[in-house]
Amino acid sequence: MSIRPVRSVSLAQPTREGAGVSLHRAFGFGKTEEFDPFLLFDDFRNDRPADYLAGFPWHPHRGIETITYVLSGNVEHGDSLGNRGTLGAGDVQWMTAGSGIMHQEMPHGDAEGRMHGFQLWANLPSSLKMTAPRYQDIPAAEIAEVVEDDGTRIRVIVGAAFGKRGPVDGIAADPIYLDISVPPGVRKVLPVETSRHAFAYVFAGSGTFRDARRSRSASSPNAARRTTRSWSAKPPATGRWCCSIPATR
Decide if 2 is inside a domain: no
Angle at 224 between CA 222 and CA 225, to 5 degrees: 135
- The enclosing H or E element of 201 equals strand 199-204
85 CB neighbour count, 10 Å cutoff: 13
Co-location of 127 and 205 in the same domain: no
Same-domain pairing of 132 and 17? yes
Residues 101 and 185 in one domain: no
Kindly state whether residues 13 and 135 are assigned to the same domain: yes
C-alpha to C-alpha distance for 80 and 105, rounded to whole angstroms: 12
Helix then strand then coil, % of the chain, to nearest 5: 5, 55, 40
Contact 138, 93 (CB under 8 A): yes
pTM: 0.86
**How confident is the model over 191-244, as pLDDT tens digits?**
777 777 788 898 888 887 765 444 445 544 444 443 334 556 555 555 567 666
Q: Which domain holds residue 27?
A: 9-139
1 assigned to some structural domain: no
pLDDT at 187: 86
Q: Are residues 150 and 102 both part of a single domain? A: no
